[in-house]
Structure 1
Amino acid sequence: MKKTILACLSFLMAAGLLNVNAQTSVSYGVKGEMNMSNFLLKDLDVQKSTMKVGPNLGGFMKVDLHPNFAIQPEVMFFYRNSKMETGPAEDTFKQWGMQIPVYALGQTSTDNGRFYGGVGPFVSLGFDARYKDADVNLYDEVAGKTPMNRWDVGLGAILGYELDNGIQLNAGYQFGFLNQLDALKDVAKMRTQAVCVGVGYRF
């Protein structure tokens, strides 16, 4: 986990140095969000996944390449909840990890700030995932197999407004491409989706 975090920070610093040399405008900020997440299930007819609330916290680097275009990589730590129902039985699925999206942003200025919106890919790494009642980490190996895949890649979208003082209001959506099931990946699929709203501050 430490190596992954160091690699992410190194990437952000390297990208910052490259863009400074290219005489672009680079700034940094922090974000706090509320997420609502669940799983899109296929070939799991007896199961249902319903969104519940959790927090996101992290930071970003904004590289303004043009008054109307920017690149924004982020490092976000998340805690997600969802209600999982199997017939009459139900349990809460809990997961925490790290996500690194890179957005291509379009932006336009107003009298007291700017609107921005964009899309881009993300990669995420789960640190821990478990059902509340079972309390077993689903990323741990059991009988030579892991119940869940800790890696995910996908596509995200972001929309927001930034005031002239740097305060931001934003909303976003992420959809994961990878099957989160590992041991049962050949018979069923479980993909992530999350909606988030939050505030940020760009220095």
Structure 2
Amino acid sequence: MKKILFLFLCTVFLSPQIYAQVSIGVRGGFNLSAMKFETASGQKSGGIGSGNQLKNLQADLLLNIPLQGGLYLQPAFRYITKGTFFEPGTSHSDGEAGNRIKVRYIEMPVNLVYKFPFPGFKLCVGAGPYVAYGLDGTYRTDLISNGKVVSHSSRSLAFGEEDNVVSPGMYLNRWDAGLNTMLGVELNSMVMIGANYSYGMVDLDNSAAYKVKNSSLGISIGILLNREDY
């Protein structure tokens, strides 16, 4: 998937006719993220809507490339934090239990977007793949005594085998990839308002203990400069 994205973007950016019409946008917002877990026996838990979501920030630098009519290509460079809460520590026996995990990514979604014109704005609907590279992360644990959380501790994740233990036998993969969808509006004032959902398709657990995948739902606002229709 990474090679396909690279070759496609090279083809786009090496075309001077397309490059002359490219506009640039910036946007920022919030996202809810949660990891989806599946055990070896097929039992699933987590994901958006499970109550284990983390609230985080995201920021985009995007390119708006007109293709044909209302069809556009929108690759973006996104800084985003994803992760999940685990089940409350009080449900575990005394000792140390996982509380939450956060991973900071540089993510590149490449959406094919169609813009429907309306008076004063355009309705934008799009979808496409994304690939993400994990920069770093943190893992927080609770210390439980007599069924109550008495203290917290946090450690860094560096994606090396020794620095990367989330739970016994579980090691995080630095790379993530999946599908991304978006829905938004572009106002004639150049303001963009939108929502996006990403569905991870890469197993983030390098061991065989679980299948772990990212999911994220975000909202954002920004501006699109030098639009080709202005």
- State the TM-score bracket (shorter-chain normalisation): 0.7 to 0.9
Deviations 1:151-189 (A, max 9, x none): 01100000000100110110010011111011x2x2320
Query: Which residue pairs with 2:55 in the alignment?
Result: 53
Asked whether the equivalents of residues 16 and 26 of structure 1 are also in contact (C-alpha less than 8 Å), the reply is no
Give 2:209's aligned residue.
187
Cα offset, 1:17, TM superposition: 4.5
CA distance 1:46–1:115, change in 2 (3 Å): closer
TM-score (norm 1): 0.83
Q: Distance in 2 between matches of 1:47 and 1:157?
A: 22
1:133-144 equivalences under 5 Å are 133-137=153-157, 139-142=159-162
- Alignment counterpart, residue 29 of structure 2, candidates 28, 33, 40: 33
**Cα deviation code 1:8-62 (max 9, x no counterpart):** 8xx97873441x3258731110010201001111017697571010000121001
| Residue identity matched to 1:28 | I
1:15 paired residue number:
12
After TM superposition, the score normalised by the length of structure 2 is 0.74
What is the distance in 1 between the residues matched to 2:216 and 2:20? 32
Give the Cα–Cα distance (whole angstroms) in 1 for the partners of residues 131 and 69 of structure 2: 28
Task: Evaluate the alpha carbon distance shift between residue 113 and residue 188 of structure 1 in structure 2; reply closer, same or farther with a 3 A threshold.
Answer: same
User: In structure 2, what is the Cα distance between the partners aligned to 1:48 and 1:195?
Assistant: 14
- Asked whether 1:167 is paired with 2:191, we answer yes
Distance 1:177 1:46 in 2: 15
Q: 1:143 to 1:174 in 2, by over 3 A?
A: closer
Judge conservation of contact 1:24–1:65 (CA < 8 Å) in 2: no
Q: Secondary structure at the residue paired with 1:135? A: strand
Q: Percent identity?
A: 21
- Name 1:3's counterpart in structure 2: none
* Amino acid in the other structure paired with 2:133: L
Q: Counterpart of 1:92 in structure 2: which amino acid?
A: R
Larger Rg computed on CA atoms: 2
What runs of 5+ residues in structure 1 fail to find an aligned partner?
1-7
Task: Say which SS state the counterpart of residue 160 (structure 2) adopts.
Answer: coil
Q: Post-superposition shift, 1:192?
A: 0.4
Q: For each residue in 1:68-110, what CA deviation from the matched residue of structure 2 results, as whole angstroms up to 9, or x when unmatched? A: 1000000000123421126434512111111001000111111
Aligned length: 191
Q: Are 2:106 and 1:117 aligned?
A: no
Q: Secondary structure at the match of 1:15?
A: helix
Aligned twin of 1:77: 79
Structure 2 stretches lacking a partner, 5+ long = 1-5, 141-152, 226-230
Residue 131, structure 1, aligned to residue 139, structure 2? yes
Question: Does residue 147 of structure 1 match 2:160?
Answer: no
Task: Indicate how the Cα distance of structure 1 residues 32 and 101 shifts in structure 2: closer, same or farther if over 3 A, else same.
Answer: same
